[in-house]
């Protein structure tokens, strides 16, 4: 009989360091002033849920392998039932994609257990 995936636990809110990390990444994609506005939108957004596989499809990104050190760290958190910080997403309506502003490694780790898992995330428009 197949082993069921571990329960995924989530923090109610993102950890404080997630927002500066998102801002740093978004500044590579958008002018700094716009990146700041988007990050403020992420801070104000409510937590939503989307399936892991749908986020990957919408982002167009590839999965990192389970041997990636950050994915390994997050897989250990999941296996030990430690809560994860919600993922930060940005709707890029110009390109018809979702940008993973923060939480790519967490998402890869979670997907490796269950592609249908509901991912807690905050999403803002780009």
Task: Identify the structural domains of the chain with CATH numbers, from first to last.
Answer: 18-125 (3.90.1530)
Residue 45: predicted pLDDT: 97
| Chain position carrying tokens 């296996």 | 79
pTM of the model: 0.92
> DSSP assignment, residue 105?
H
Distance CA 120, CA 87 (A): 6
Residue 69: predicted pLDDT: 87
Nearest CA to 102 out of 33, 16, 2 is that of: 16
Which H helix or E strand runs over 36?
A: helix 32-44
pLDDT at 56 over 70: yes
pLDDT at 5 over 60: yes
């Amino acid at each position: 009989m197949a082993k069921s995936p571990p329960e995924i636990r989530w923090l109610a809110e993102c950890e404080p360091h997630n927002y500066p990390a998102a801002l740093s990444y978004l500044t590579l994609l958008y002018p700094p002033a716009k990146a700041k506005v988007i990050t403020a939108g992420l801070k104000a957004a409510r937590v939503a849920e989307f399936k892991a596989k749908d986020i990957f499809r919408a982002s167009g990104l590839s999965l990192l392998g389970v041997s990636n050190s950050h994915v390994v760290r997050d897989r250990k958190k999941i296996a030990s039932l430690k809560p994860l910080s919600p993922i930060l997403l940005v709707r890029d309506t110009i390109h018809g994609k979702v940008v993973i502003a923060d939480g790519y490694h967490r998402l890869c780790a979670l997907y490796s257990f269950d592609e249908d898992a509901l991912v807690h995330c905050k999403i803002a428009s780009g």
